[in-house]
Structure formats: structure tokens, C-alpha cells
Amino acid sequence: MAEAQTETPPSLSEQYSLKEKAEKSDVATKVADAEEVENSASTSSKEVVTEEVETPAPLVESTEVPPAVAEENTEANPVAENSVEDAQVAAEESNERTKESSGDAEETPEIKLETAPADFRFPTTNQTRHCFTRYIEYHRCVAAKGEDASECDKFAKYYRALCPGEWIDRWNEQRENGTFPGPL
């Protein structure tokens, strides 16, 4: 595994570093309202792609939180016809969860049907690099914004959804030893 990942083409990392910088400048301009950031962290790929569009109006989004989340849920699952009620419930649940995740994790976890979105960079069956990229993205994000930056939570969710736990453990170990074979 480690051997396979060592030949990461430089073009890929350059691509991401550019994207990271663009995102960073965007994020730096906006006020880090805790709740608003939590919401953006728990959204799907639509938001990741159109982040530049949505950042100019953070106030609007924070005022109408439940409908926004409900819309995203229906977008994420267009097949589910009964998703309107579910989405309302899920929206409330997600609000609860954002509060409790900032508190302690001992309470009963709320189940929300949400996972890493389909990524246009990885349209094929082989998702190995998708997992690896999300892991790197998270750690670059943490390196850029600090350990407890809540913008990075979505990347953490994505790589945990995609990567097998065994791989994550090994990579964490490699990062501690300084032998991680990737651009961090």
C-alpha cells in the first residue's frame, strides 16, 4: 500500500495546494460564526463545489438554518419521495447533533443518512485515491487552520467514510513516525 502511494504525481498535489489556498482566502474573509461553520461542515458536495458562491451571504444561511439543511437533504437523495418529513426531522437532529458534538460524545448518537459525496475527480470504480486524497486534505486543512478548526470536520467525515479503519491507523502511525508517503 505504502509503495503504491509513494509515486503521487506532483501535479495532483499542486492542484490541491492551489485549491486549498483559494479556499483559505475565502474562509479568511468570512467571520467564523460557530454555528454557521458547523452547518457548512455537515453539508454535501453541492456546497463544496459552490462554496465561493455561498460565502458572500453567510448571514442569510445562518438565519434560515432548518430549511437550508432540508433542501440539501432532498437534493442528496432525489429518489426518496418521503424525504420531506425525514428531512425536517433530520434537520432538527443535525441541529441537535451539532450542539452535542461540541459538547460530549457520550449521548445517544443521532443517525443522519449522509456520507462523503460523489467526487467528480474520482468517477471510476477505483476509489483508492479518493480516500487517500480526503485524508491528505484533512491533514493539510488542520495544518493550515489549526487543530480545532471546524472547517476541517467535513474532510474528516469524508475520509472516515471512505477509508478502511486499518488504513487510517497505519497512516496515523506513519505520520507520527514521519514516514507518511504523501504531501502533507
CA dist 88 to 112, 123, 152, Å? 11, 31, 26
Q: Which of 144, 151, 119, 148 is nearest to 132 (CA)?
A: 119
Q: Is 45 or 62 the residue whose CB approaches another protein more closely?
A: 45
- What x-and-dash track marks residues 48-87 binding another protein by CB under 8 A? ----------------------------xxxxx-x---x-
Shortest reach from residue 5's CB to another protein, in Å = 9
Instruction: Report the residue from 35, 58, 62, 117 that binds another protein according to the rule CB under 8 A.
Output: 117
Amino acid at 19: K
Task: Give the up-direction half-sphere exposure of residue 148: CA atoms within 13 A in the CB hemisphere.
Answer: 3
Residue 114: name the closest of 150, 154, 152, 148 by CA.
154
The residue among 108, 141, 158 whose CA lies nearest residue 21 is: 141
148 part of the interface to another protein, by CB under 8 A: no
Is 154 a residue that touches another protein (CB under 8 A)? no
List residues near another protein by CB under 8 A: 1, 4, 44-45, 76-80, 82, 86, 101, 105-106, 108-118, 123-128, 130-131, 157, 160-166, 168-169, 172
